[in-house]
Amino acid sequence: MSRRPAGAARGSDAIGIARAVAGPAALTATQSPAMAARTAYLGPAGSWTHQACLDLYGADGLVPLSREALFAAYADGKVERACVPVATSVVGLTPYMEDVLALPRVVVVAEYPKMLGYSLLARPGTRREDIKEVHAHPVAFEEVRPWLEREMPGARRVPAASGGAAAQAVAASATQDKASFGPRVGASVYQLVSLADGIEEGPHNVTRWWVLGRDMPAPTGKDKTSLLACIPDARLAPLLADFAQAGVPILTIYERPARKTLDAHRYVVEVAGHVRDDALAGLLARQGELRVLGSYPRRY
């Protein structure tokens, strides 16, 4: 998983990337030009994480990095932000959550949930009936399975590291019998065309990204806080009771192994509110088992 995918830059590579189709720069107004010029995402270009960054910040200064290089660049202060997919409604936590939790210091400054609708991408001139092989991330294959079994039951399925890597493989092919499933941005990056859009298993297909930054945003009145507790399992019920007694609503709980003993786990607990809110601040002052990962505007 830590190998550098084709098309992904190393941590010391140039910060710029060839400009792709830009989406609405939803967060740009709150960031300085220097910060906006250094946003790393999991490469290669043309992936869903690339699309998420385009939605949030536009095309300027986006840096596609391998998994290893991205987290190293963030930890070393070489980029101001890093965009990481942490959970999906289909598979739950992604493997990248482990990398986030392993960082010595992390500040989650934003979340971005996005409903995914896949496009079938191919080289110009390819017809759907010509396609014998389709490339996609394994999760993408699960999410488009009903459509694929109905429309292209005989196509060979080739797993890829990301939607961008799948599109890249199709673009590099010498034949026109291959296609990939991924975001439409892959067509722009790799000069492909879309043969079908909006392919998905259902309206529940949502991926959620965290943006890792440097400074915690100020309270907005509608915020979310992500916390980490590494505790024995017997401590979970009392910990949850502490939240209830403090009047702090719990929104989500994710569980990961503690990698110490069988009866201990790491719990990512997400609550409504900001660490500066009186109720949550009071709870944190009394509770020594919680590590703050970040407080940020709540988007869902």
- Convert the pLDDT of each residue in 22-73 to its tens digit: 333 333 333 444 443 589 999 899 999 999 999 999 998 999 999 999 999 9
* CATH 3.40.190.10 placement within the chain: 28-114+207-212, 118-199
Q: What is the reported pLDDT for 22?
A: 30
Q: What confidence tens digit (pLDDT) does each residue in 282-300 have?
A: 999 998 899 999 999 999 8
Q: What is the CATH number of domain 223-297?
A: 3.30.70.260
Residue 136's contacts (CB-CB under 8 Å, 6 or more residues apart) are 118, 144, 157, 158, 159, 160, 163, 166, 180, 181, 182
The tokens for 99 are 């990398």
Q: What is the CATH number of domain 118-199?
A: 3.40.190.10
Q: What is the reported pLDDT for 202?
A: 62
Fold type of domain 28-114+207-212 = D-Maltodextrin-Binding Protein; domain 2 (3.40.190)
Q: What is the reported pLDDT for 178?
A: 98
Residue 273 has pLDDT above 60, yes or no: yes
Q: How far is C-alpha 263 from the geometric centre of its chain's CA atoms?
A: 29
Confidence of residue 143 (pLDDT cuts 50, 70, 90): confident
227 contacts 290 by C-beta, under 8 angstroms: yes
Q: Within the chain, how many helices (H) and strands (E) appear?
A: 9, 15
* CATH 3.30.70.260 placement within the chain: 223-297
